[in-house]
Amino acid sequence: MAKTKRTIGHSLLTKESSAGVLFTLPFTVGFLMFMIVPMGISLYYSFCEYNILSEPKFIGLDNFIKMFTDDAIYMTSLKVTFFFAFVSVPIRLVFALIVALILLRTTKVTGFYRAAYYLPSIIGGSVAVAILWKRMFAIDGVVNALLGKIGIETSFSWLGDKRTAIWVLILLSVWQFGSSMLIFLSALKQIPSNLYESARVDGAGKIAQFFKITLPLLTPTIFFNLVMQMINGFLAFTQSMIITQGKPLNSTLFYAVYVYQQSFEFYNTGYGAAMAWVMLALIGAVTGILFATKKFWVYEGGL
Amino acid sequence: MRKVLAMLLIGSVFCGMMAGCGSSERAGDEQSASGTKGTDTEESGSEEGSTGGETNLTFAWWGNQTRNEMTQGAIDLYVSENPGVTIDGQFAEFNDYWNKMATSSAGHTLPDIIQMDYGYIEQYANNDLLLDLTPYIEDGTLNVSDIDEKNLNVGKVGDGIYGICLTVSPPALTYNKTLLDENGITVKNNMSMEEFFDVCREVYEKTGYKTNISYGNDVYLTYLLRANDEVLYEKGKLGVKSPESLQKYFEIYELGLEEGWLLDPGVFAERTLGSMEQDAMVYGNSPETMSWCSFIWANQLSAIQNAAPEGMELDMVTYPSPDPEKCNFLKPSQLFCVTVDSKNSEEAVKFIDFLVNSQECNEILLCERGILTNTKMGEAIIPKLSDADKKAIEFTNNVIIPTSSQVNPAPPEGSSEVSSLIGKMIERGCYQEISAEDAAQEIFDQGNEIMAANADK
């Protein structure tokens, strides 16, 4: 009896799958505790009237109905977020690709430049950079000072004008092109050079080479970057929270910031949770649409 | 199929971050909730809050640089007088402070002692987040004999006393005295609206400085409504009978825009509203981005004077009003409460007693939070006061107290959301996105709706 027990214990220990389970445990436990459980709770709250201070009260679909019928600011935040994601992501990707193409050629200083261009991606999402950005675009900030130096004296309020404020945030986001750039860079290196050689032999110029070889072979990478950055774009929070808090006139009110405001400033936490779940559905839908378009433009065949 | 799965996976992982965000505080909630419920707040003194005979307290307040330094000084004094007690001071700006308190309350990790605002005490007491201090007052741990009954009742919710009102403060129009003196412009107490507008025009013509009228908050609106005997926030509704009185307020902004003396709203986009250090009266580099005055509270004079550039002397008069006697009031500016999450409530109460009754402590804190409700103490510290504090006290005693009325009742739940709505409407008004009439109508409609929704809860 005791012997069989030991064998079972032994076999459990030596089984390869046990090791797998063991090693993934830190992630699994964290994922369950800090993702799945809170998500479940937030799903429950989304059907509740919940003000944090007192117990949640079940109200069915009221939060969702209110969102789409009786909350103009919600619609504004949705528009702002879509605008931000659909404008900043393509610009950022184009930028990343251009810089990646430039840095593809190896010289003595490319290593330095790669690191330098990657830096904003690491620090760009931080509070410190957001504050720096805010100061740069202040009325008495460095941007206006530089404009003054080149003869354009101005006390224009970049963050105070609803036409420009969102662009300040988009610019910050575009500036963080480093991680996409690195991914492009490694993809570019994998394109076999014999393709370019034969193209040259056939008389194709640089531009034709780019559009006929480089771009088609990059489409899987572009697709990956697009999906990931799009999701990030929808979830943008720090920039708006630190720099503008949605001001002026809600023209920079990102969805996530509005969720935060409803949840923790107005104490409508149930409503905030409902909004977060709608965002989940929206991101799912947008990602789904992107995947659906994949077969029309992404090259997946072998070489 | 695999693609769909992959897509769902990516989507869900990333959104999890967001959906989880709505309630990330909940993860630890279950455990700590049972922790606090299981143990009686009074008896559990030696568990988590203290280690090896040491008592650890946390004390949170909102404020500015001046207050933070003074309060830390008072904490240091208390700790040095009470070996074995440590106090962790935590501070934030007003708005952030309440976000933090709300989330801490959900996690049952509220600080032991919290600074409380008149506008929030009902909500916090009614949700059983605060400790009733009555037993401690009865057994003498907390001595409030020098605070008069009226001020003591400010902390009363139902039958219990949940907060001790340490200070009171009237609204005060602070102004850049240096600027006005240099240009021979005078302001006075109890100005009528027309007189005030004349000053705004004169300042703008002579100096280029503009006027900031209570941008982004409801303080001045609440004040002016008192002239028509209207209380802005009532239980379940707004206390204004029709949108007209709201419209009159928004017409002030229209007038200022038309005549050019209203401060451009773009200035505020880059500021933290409510921060003394970033107030447009003391912060800015050219007249067109600065205001000659600021609608704040008398006690804030010392903080804003400290934030002012060298050589700028500030002073104060009453808010302009059609009926000063009805409009002026003394606001209970700061209450102090012990929360139910405190593991050392007895020690926490002792610290509040120290704030109320220790002369050394009040010689550090002075009148930065307002006029002390402990009248004896108020007299005792007079020699130590700064010029700014002395101005505030004189203003309160000589100008406000003789001609003022009772403060509005504590605003019920929903008021903070309506207040934010009013702030947004002022913003839209200043950007000329909405007319005074429409702004008033929107506040009237939406405000009543919000207040009603909160009353049902």
Report the residue from B19, B124, B270 with minimal CB separation from A277. Answer: B19
Whether the pLDDT of residue B334 is over 70: the answer is yes
- Give the confidence band of A12 by pLDDT, cuts at 50, 70, 90: low
Q: Are A200 and A91 in contact (CB under 8 A)?
A: no
What local confidence, expressed as pLDDT, does residue B275 receive?
Answer: 85
CA distance A158 to A160: 6
User: What are the pLDDT digits (tens) for B126-183?
Assistant: 889 999 999 999 999 999 988 888 888 889 988 999 999 999 999 999 999 999 999 9
Q: Judged by CB atoms within 8 Å, which residues 68-107 of A form the interface with B? A: none
Q: What is the pLDDT of residue B78?
A: 94
Q: Is the pLDDT of residue B194 over 50?
A: yes
**Residue A39: which of B19, B95, B424 has the nearest Cβ?**
B19
Chain B residues whose CB is inside 8 A of the A258 CB are none
Q: Do B420 and A51 touch (CB under 8 A)?
A: no
What pLDDT does B385 receive? 87
Cβ neighbours of residue B291 closer than 8 Å, sequence gap 6 or more: B209, B210, B211, B212, B263, B280, B281
- Give the SS3 label for residue A57: strand
pLDDT of residue B28: 36
Contact call for B3 and A291, based on CB within 8 A: yes
What average pLDDT score do residues B266-275 get? 84
B413: which chain A residues are within 8 Å (Cβ-Cβ)? Answer: 51
- DSSP 8-state assignment for residue A303: -
Identify the three-state secondary structure at position A236: coil
Residues of B within 8 A of A137 (CB-CB) are 270
For residue B94, pLDDT over 80 is answered with yes
> What number is the average pLDDT over the span A35-40?
93
Above 70 in pLDDT, residue B386?
A: yes
The answer to whether B417 and B450 have CB atoms below 8 angstroms apart is: yes
Shortest distance, CA A166 to any CA of chain B (angstroms): 12
* pLDDT mean across residues, chain A: 87
What's the pLDDT at B41? Answer: 38
Residue B29 distance to chain A (closest CA, Å): 10
Query: Could you give the C-alpha distances from A278 to A255, A285, B2, B125, in angstroms and in order?
Result: 11, 10, 24, 34
Taking one residue from A and the other from B, the number of pairs with CB-CB distance under 8 angstroms is 164
Domain B171-330+405-456 -> CATH class:
alpha beta
Lowest-pLDDT range of A24-28, A114-118, A173-177, B320-324 = A114-118
- Asked which of A10-14, B92-96, B285-289 is least confident by mean pLDDT, the reply is A10-14
CA-nearest residue of chain A to B290? A139
CB of A272 closer than 8 Å to CB of A259: yes
The architecture that CATH gives domain B52-168+332-398 is 3-Layer(aba) Sandwich (3.40)
pLDDT reading at B19 higher than 70: no
Out of A139, A249, A283, the one facing B433 most closely (by C-beta) is A249
The domain locations on chain A are 59-297
CATH of domain A59-297: 1.10.3720.10
User: pLDDT tier at A10 (50, 70, 90 boundaries)?
Assistant: low
CATH 3.40.190.10 segments of chain B: 52-168+332-398, 171-330+405-456
Measured between beta carbons, the chain B residues lying within 8 angstroms of A270 are none
**Residues 171 through 200 of chain A touching chain B, CB cutoff 8 Å:** none
State how far residue B357 is from chain A, nearest Cα, in angstroms: 32
| Nearest by CB: A279 against B15, B416, B420 | B15
Residues in chain B with CB shorter than 8 Å from the CB of A249 are: 427-428, 431, 433
- Note the pLDDT of residue B431: 92
Question: What's residue B21's pLDDT?
Answer: 41
How many C-beta atoms lie closer than 10 Å to residue A61's C-beta?
11
**Interface contact A57, partner B, CB < 8 A:** yes
What are B32-42's pLDDT values in tens digits? 333 333 333 33
What is the model's pLDDT at position A245? 85
Q: In the prediction, which pLDDT does A124 show?
A: 64
Query: What is the model's pLDDT at position B30?
Result: 36
pLDDT greater than 70 at residue B25: no
Residues 261-290 of A with CB under 8 A from B: 263-269, 272-273, 275-277, 279-280, 283-284, 287-288
ipTM tops 0.95: no
Structural tokens at position B3: 């693609």
Give residue-wise pLDDT tens across range A244-297. Answer: 888 888 899 999 999 998 888 888 899 999 999 999 999 999 999 999 998 888
Mean pLDDT of B266-279: 86
Query: Within chain A, where are the H helices?
Result: 2-14, 16-31, 37-45, 62-69, 72-104, 110-123, 127-136, 142-149, 165-175, 178-189, 193-201, 206-209, 215-234, 238-239, 255-260, 269-297
Q: What pLDDT, on a 0 to 100 scale, did the predictor assign at position B29?
A: 37
| B19 with A279: Cβ contact below 8 A | yes
Which CA distances in Å does A298 have to A213, A226, A292, A294, A301?
Answer: 13, 12, 11, 5, 9
pLDDT in tens, A87-97: 999 999 999 99
Interface contact flag, A249 B416, Cβ < 8 Å: no
- Of A161, A267, A273, which has the smallest distance from its Cβ to B266's Cβ? A161
